[in-house]
Structure 1
Amino acid sequence: MPTTALLPVPLAPEISLHLVKEPVGLFDLTGGEFRSDEPPPFWAFVWAGGQALARYVLDHPETVAGKRVHDLATGSGVAAIAAARSGAAHVAATDLDPAAVAAALRNARANGVTVGDTPDRPEVILAGDVFYSPAVAPQITKILREARRNSVDVLVGDPGRGYFPDRLFTALAEYTVPVPAALEEAESLVTTVWRMR
């Protein structure tokens, strides 16, 4: 497990997360290899899509205020925490990696908000940086389209990962998001918050 420190989120400094503070890349923390039985610690970083979603929700609290929110593929939990801070009635953070859910719940406690791990008939789904591979993108698209058919408001933060199905979305806002160069090979990524049509 990587060593973390409680640090402010660059684009949403009103939120602090337990993050890796030394300049390392994702696979540096796994000894340079990928093991399918043990996901890399995505939760130890605050990704551009999550930061953009958090900023958008904090600046537009009416998006989640009084609503049931599900932060899908939560990672560090930054979007879930922003929703809780913005007055959501119930916030759940889920992820395929149980360590990510544990990190999101720990980060929520550090920010003085309550986030659970069980979605309760969500009215809003937040999904940051979920279109990162050709294997994952169709699965996520299917989940989000089903939710949208059930009248769930779906917001996605995406920094142009390449597998994002933009034809299904309308752009809401664009941010230049500070990111660790060791993680992204850039110091910032232009990241868009989208709403599914």
Structure 2
Amino acid sequence: MQSIDIIITTAKQIIECEPNKITNVIIDTNNTDLIINLSQEQAQCNIYGLQLAQNTETYSLNLLINHTAPNCISNTILRGVYTDNAIGNITAKIHVHPYAYKTNAALENKNLLLSNTATVNTLPQLEIYNDDVKCSHGATIGALDVEALFYLQSRGIAYSAARKILIESFISPTFFNEQIKYHAQKKLSNF
């Protein structure tokens, strides 16, 4: 199956996913209103989003995934890492319309807080109007695993390197390709 890669760098965008093609959407901007339409049968879309926020940065994502045709697939993987006084606001909704039977949709939003003053507000939503679907959604907000950090340090890895290893492991599901991985690692080196 042919794939199409789209990198989102603008504040507002609407994407129409094509049938019999995999559309890979990479979100690479601070504030985005994004609508993804799966309006033709057999359309498939993978959405990857990564936010690394520090100081007083604010990230905002409003994502709507519209399933209006049957037999479509969407997979959304969002990761956020926030430190200092950074703020993340993520609203993501999967909307399955009445005629979109055999929809397969998943939405996952995981966030890591590295300071007591960083904030994340997340609202994953499902709006389903068909019974013949497979849909899931979830969100987590947590801190670095202190036991994993201790384990790495007990093996001779410095605190900053151990912290970086754990953060990179946490965000790695968004590494769709080497370009994305390089971009994330570069940003993480200044984090």
Same fold? TM cut 0.5: no
Q: Which has the higher helix share?
A: 1
Q: Work out which of the two has the higher radius of gyration on C-alpha atoms and give 1 or 2.
A: 2
Bigger RCO of structures 1 and 2 (CA < 8 A, at least 6 apart): 1
Task: Identify, as 1 or 2, the structure richer in strand.
Answer: 2
TM-score, reference length from structure 2: 0.29
